[in-house]
Chain A
Amino acid sequence: MSMLYLENVVTLRLDAASCVGCGRCVEVCPHAVFTVESGKARIRERDACMECGACARNCPVGALFVKNGVGCAVGILNAKLGRTSSCCGGEQDCCCSCEPDTEKDNG
């Protein structure tokens, strides 16, 4: 299925000037947001970004910025209500139980 979420909301930024074209962002992004063209990374599909922060964490020259967070309404609501700050804190059941790597099929 298409995994494009809301248009034009994500905080992802790429500073092309400092990019060295190593391709780590292409390697770590689970939504194929990036490509490397003529020695520079390029944002190919911005709306596919889920702000996991893998690209920014692994960029060796700090050319990527993203305000990473978990896209979980329960977690955000709880944080607003001053309860556990994140989605998967403590005994809360929401995401995080069945790993996405359990099945390999492309239905």
Chain B
Amino acid sequence: MSVGCCCGTCGQGMSAEWVTGYLETPVGRVPRAAVRWKWRDRLGAWAVCWGIGRMRYTVPPGLYAVGTPQPESPLLVTANYKLSFDHVRRELAGFDAWVLVLDTKGVNVWCAAGKGTFGTEELVGRIARTETVRIVNRRALVVPQLGAPGVAAHEVARRTGFRVVYGPVRAADLPAFLRAGMRATPEMRRVSFTLRERLAVVPVELVSRFLPAAGLALLFAGLTGMSRGGYSFESRPALWAAAMVAANYVVGIAATPAMLPWLPGRSFAAKGLATGAALGFVLGWLSPEPWPDRVSVGLLSLAACSFLGLMFTGSTPYTSASGVRKEMAWALPVQGGLAAVGLTGWIAARFA
């Protein structure tokens, strides 16, 4: 099904399967969004969590209908990252509502709010362009709470006449929020970082660090051929070296997030050091190589896992920029030192 789209900001070949029809309104036809996900929506949601097609995963900005909204129906705001929009429309099953999609260049609400693209200017402008005032009676906007870093509620009210009500952090709480007369419980206002949420951000990290990790694995495997008597490549030590890089890649990226609450300290570099110490110990234990090699592998694991732990700060919902800067100041030199000593020892061990 191919549909014409509003606002002239359509992406490439918008054959929107999630548009189920149109609503006639005083400002023209408003597309009605489906509340159920189809397999393509599910596939897309899975793919973007692996970093596939993420920057092109958009919906056209503008006004949409869910159900059969009336002038007094609630008006909700979201971003034009399709996953954000999909969560909102799915949670609105059984409700009649208007959904105003802002142009955030395909970025989710929270990150876009941090950058200001989900912001006061875009919201005020989008309300004007969609002539939303001619469609709704209630002068209230439900803006997702995580959009608040970009939206000044009092300014929106002053410039548009719409009162801003901040909705829940999670789209899943929208039904309860709406049924309670647009009231959020304290629980709905807090972000969480459950095991499931921590693991959900791991795939994108695995994908984005795959090439450097593969490069390092090849490099270390190749270097195992060095010896006092010149270069002679053997597959067993080469495979072992590659396996150690692979172990650091997987454990450093996945285990630190998974075990986050139980790792010591608050610093992510320190938590990564703990992971690296455990991994280094296990690798040293399993290694068939002589001790200088095993100690060096331990040091390299400490450096790698600590660095990956620090890199994970970008995927958490609670690290402050000031805090990250503070730990980077000590962690990067420590990690660099460990890596330098570990690498020197590991190469020296080839010639022992």
Which residues does A use to contact B, with CB under 8 Å?
1-7, 9-11, 24, 27-32, 48-54, 57-58, 60, 67-77, 86-88, 91, 93-107
Supply 19 A–B pairs (Cβ within 8 Å), ascending by A.
A3-B318, A5-B318, A9-B320, A29-B189, A30-B145, A51-B321, A51-B322, A53-B114, A53-B149, A57-B150, A73-B313, A73-B314, A73-B324, A76-B325, A86-B115, A94-B208, A97-B204, A98-B48, A101-B146
Asked if A99 and B110 sit within 8 Å, CB to CB, the answer is yes
Most buried by B among A4, A57, A60, A107: A57
> Is A11 touching B48 in the complex (CB atoms < 8 A)?
no
- How far does the alpha carbon of A77 sit from the alpha carbon of B83 in the complex, in Å? 28
- Would you list which residues of chain B between 259 and 277 have a CB under 8 Å from chain A? 260-261, 266-268
Partner of B51, one of A28, A86, A97: A97
For the complex of A and B, the 10 pairs showing the least CB-CB separation, nearest first, are A69-B321, A72-B314, A71-B319, A104-B172, A54-B148, A28-B148, A93-B208, A1-B261, A96-B111, A3-B318
Q: Is the CB of A30 within 8 A of B191?
A: yes
B231 an interface residue at 8 Å Cβ cutoff? no
Known contacts A58-B151, A106-B194: A73-B115 contact under CB 8 Å: no
Q: Is the CB of B321 within 8 A of A71?
A: yes
Query: Are the CB atoms of A6 and B109 closer together than 8 Å?
Result: no
- Chain B residues at the A interface, C-beta cutoff of 8 Å: 45, 48-49, 51, 54-55, 81, 83-84, 87, 107-111, 113-115, 144-146, 148-154, 166, 169-173, 184, 186, 189-197, 200-201, 204-205, 207-208, 260-261, 266-268, 310-311, 313-328
Shortest distance in angstroms between A97's beta carbon and chain B's nearest beta carbon?
5
Contact: A93 with B193, CB < 8 Å?
no
Q: Could you count the A-B residue pairs with CB atoms below 8 Å apart for me: how many are there?
A: 213
Q: How many angstroms between the C-alpha atoms of A51 and B191 in the bound complex? A: 14
